[in-house]
Amino acid sequence: MDFEAVIGLEVHAELDTRSKMFCACPVIDVTTAAPNIAVCPVCAGMPGVLPVVNERAVEYAIRVALALECQVYSTSIFARKNYFYPDLPKGYQISQYEQPLARHGRLVIQTSQGEKTVRIRRVHLEEDTGKLTHVEKDAQSYSLVDLNRAGVPLLEIVTEPDMHSAEEVRAYAQALRSVLRYLKVNSGDMQKGVMRIEPNISVRLLGSQSLGTRVEIKNLNSFRALERATAYEIQRQSELVSRGGQVRQETVGWDEARQQTFTQRVKEGEEDYRYFPEPDLPPLVVEEAWVEHIRAELPELPAARQRRFESQYALSAYDASVLVAEWEAAEYFEQAAAAAGGAPAKTVANWVSGELFGLLNQAGKDISASPVSPQGMGRLVRSVASGEINNNTAKTVLAEMFAGGQEADAIIAERGLRQVSDTAQIAGWVAQALAENPDQVRAYLNGKDSLARWLFGQVMRLARGQGNPQIIQAELERQLSALKN
Ligand code: ADP
Ligand code: MG
Ligand code: ZN
Of all residues in the chain, what percent carry a pLDDT higher than 70? 97
Tens of pLDDT, residue by residue over 179-199, are 999 999 999 999 999 999 999
> If pLDDT is split at 50, 70 and 90, which confidence band does 485 have?
confident
Report whether 329 contacts 354 (CB < 8 A).
Answer: no
CA atoms of 139 and 148, how far apart (whole Å):
28
Cβ 59 vs Cβ 78: under 8 Å: no
**Residue 344: strand, helix, or coil:** coil
CA atoms of 315 and 297, how far apart (whole Å): 27
Say whether pLDDT at 414 is over 80: no
Per-residue model confidence (pLDDT) at position 194? 97
CB 196 within 8 A of CB 223: no
- State the amino acid at position 424 in one-letter form: A
- CA 4 to centroid of ligand 1, rounded, Å: 16
Cα of 417 to ligand 3 centre, how many Å?
62
The stretch 138-146 carries a mean pLDDT of 92
CA angle 349, 355, 357 (to 5 degrees): 80
Each residue's pLDDT tens digit, 309-358: 999 999 998 899 999 999 999 999 999 999 998 889 999 999 999 999 99
**Secondary structure (H, E, C), 75-119:** EECEEEEECCCCCCCCCEEEEECCCCCEEEEEEEEEECCEEEEEE
Give the SS3 label for residue 238: helix
Report pLDDT for 267.
61
In the chain, what is the greatest distance between 2 CA atoms, to the nearest angstrom?
101
**Dihedral of CA 365/369/373/374: which sign?**
positive
> If pLDDT is split at 50, 70 and 90, which confidence band does 421 have?
low
Give 251's strand partners: 216, 265
Residue 314 φ then ψ, to 5° = 55, 45
Ligand 1 pocket check for 96: Cβ under 6 Å: no
Of residues 340, 300, 339, the one with CA closest to residue 320: 300
Mean pLDDT throughout 452-465? Answer: 85
Tell me how far the alpha carbon of residue 269 lies from the centroid of ligand 2, in angstroms: 10
Nearest to 324 by CA among 350, 302, 357, 349: 302
User: Global pTM?
Assistant: 0.84
Ligand 1: nearest atom to the Cα of 9: 14
pLDDT, one tens digit per residue, over 387-404 is 777 788 888 888 888 888
| Sign, Cα dihedral of 18, 19, 21, 27 | positive
What mean pLDDT, rounded, does the chain reach? 92
Q: 439: how many CB neighbours lie within 10 A of its CB? A: 8
The pLDDT of residue 465 is above 70: no
Where residue 416 falls among pLDDT bands split at 50, 70, 90?
low
Res 188: pLDDT: 94
CA of 99 to the centre of ligand 1 (A): 17
Question: Which atom of ligand 1 approaches the CA of 158 most closely?
Answer: 14
Specify which of 214-218, 383-387, 470-474 reaches the highest per-range mean pLDDT.
214-218
Q: Does the pLDDT of residue 466 top 90, yes or no?
A: no
Bridge partners (DSSP) of residue 215 are: 201, 250
Best residue among 118, 200, 213, 250 to mutate for probing ligand 1, ranked by most atoms within 8 Å of CB: 200
d(CA 480, CA 460) in angstroms, rounded, equals 16
Domains of the chain: 3-290 (no CATH), 300-415 (no CATH), 423-484 (1.10.10.410)
Give, using CA atoms, the residue closest to atom 7 of ligand 1. Answer: 158
Distances from the Cα of 256 to the Cα of 124, 170, 182, 239, 260, angstroms: 30, 17, 30, 21, 7
CA distances from 154 to 85, 109, 149, 241, 331 (A): 18, 23, 10, 36, 28
User: Is 174 a residue whose pLDDT tops 90?
Assistant: yes
Find out whether the beta carbon of 6 lies less than 6 Å from any atom of ligand 1.
Answer: yes
pLDDT > 70? residue 268: no
Rounded-to-integer distance, Cα 146 and Cα 154, Å: 17
- For a ligand 1 pocket test, name from 158, 159, 205, 249 the mutation site with the most ligand atoms within 8 angstroms of its C-beta: 158
